[in-house]
Amino acid sequence: MVINAASLICYHSSAIRCTGLQRVQAERILFVANEKEKHLSGGKRDEMEQIRLNKYLSDNGVCSRREADRLTEKGLITVNGEKAVLGMKIDPGARVCLRGKEVKRQEEKVLLAFHKPAGIVCTAEKREKNNVIDFLKYPLRIFPVGRLDKDSTGLLLMTNDGELVNKIMRAGNYHEKEYIVQVNRPINQEFCRKMASGVPILDTVTRPCQVKKINDTTFQIVLTQGLNRQIRRMCETLGYRVVTLKRVRIMNIRLGNLKEGSYRKVQGREKEELLNMLTDSSSLSVKERKERKQQGGNV
């Protein structure tokens, strides 16, 4: 039962004709109904304020959403003392712990451009001996934007802004990543044409991309997707082996002359340009977008 303003007016207009007992009973019904309405609307507000656990961890610089799901599956995350489950939502005041240590909210958002050396692993997992977090020793909690193979070098973005990560990395946004690749034997225009038109790997065909020959064994490639070891697999399918692979650009952010093993902050005009490029990007995966469209929501 919901008592609105119109009902209240009707009640007061007829209450004059009620006996004292009837009036008390009517007021009691009105009070209970209004309390129930408050409870229901409050519940809706609480539900709206809840946030997915993996997004909470990502937004606070702990790890990416995907890594958060892996940690949840391993039972390393608790919420209010209970083991977390995949896909769960948490209240604003929930106590979230990773390996027993409480996760605190981080307000300052940072974005770094890092020149990854070969041998460094792109993970926030501390048990990995050569993980990028221990290598950088940055004072704030950050994690990598996507991955570079252990043997690959070049530009790796590091941040604690989970929303930024998803907008940059989601394949559905078609953001460019540029690489310089050297292979084990001479290439020709036919090789470049095949690479550019799409190569069958991992039960799919890679998206059309830009490929340009630099010299007999080196080429430049610009991708808008990031399948597992994509360039190496593409080359292997065509009978080549990658000798060196270096990422030199992600969207408008370029590696430039940044020394291997060092990093710089992405800020000022460079960051403004990046954020402008991300204005119309979605942080949802292709699957999540389809589900959201089916439900009639925004993507």
Instruction: Give the residue numbers marked as catalytic.
Output: 149
**153-159 and 242-250 strand pairing:** parallel
CB 224 within 8 A of CB 175: yes
Tokens of 252: 């408008």
Place of tokens 């770094």: 112
Classify 149 as helix, strand or coil.
coil
What distances in angstroms separate CA 144 from CA 66, 85, 112, 268, one per listed residue?
12, 24, 9, 21
β-strand pairing of 218-223 with 89-90: unpaired
What is the rounded CA–CA span in Å between residue 18 and residue 28? 14
The answer to whether 94 and 236 have CB atoms below 8 angstroms apart is no
Tokens of 269: 């005009």
Q: DSSP secondary-structure letter at 113?
A: E
Distance (Å) of CA 178 to CA 112, 231, 249:
18, 11, 5
CA atoms of 145 and 295, how far apart (whole Å):
29
CB–CB of 153/244 below 8 Å? yes
Q: At 168, list the tokens.
A: 């940059």
